[in-house]
Amino acid sequence: ILNLPTLRPRTYLYHLEPLGVGTPLVESLTSYIGRLAAAHAVSLGILSTKEFGPRVSKVRGTDQHHGNTAAYSTFLYDAHILNGIGRCTERWVPMIEALTGQPNLHLLTALTWNQVISAQGLLRTRRAWCPACYAEWTTSQGIVYEPLLWSLAAVSVCPRHRVCLVEVCPYCRQESGALSGRWRAGYCS
Q: What is the rounded average pLDDT of the residues 157-162?
A: 96
Residues with Cβ within 8 Å of residue 66, at least 6 apart in sequence: 54, 57
Q: Measured on CA atoms in the order 171, 175, 180, 183, is the torsion positive or negative?
A: positive
| Contact (Cβ atoms closer than 8 angstroms) between residue 147 and residue 30 | no
Q: Taking residues 71-98, what's their average pLDDT?
A: 84
Mean pLDDT over each residue of the chain, to the nearest integer: 87
- The span from the CA of 104 to the CA of 118, in Å, is 22
pLDDT band at 49 (very low <50, low <70, confident <90, very high): confident
Using DSSP's 3-state secondary structure scheme, residue 106 falls into: helix
Distance CA 121, CA 168 (A): 20
Q: How far apart are CA 108 and CA 113, in angstroms?
A: 12
Average pLDDT over residues 155-167: 96
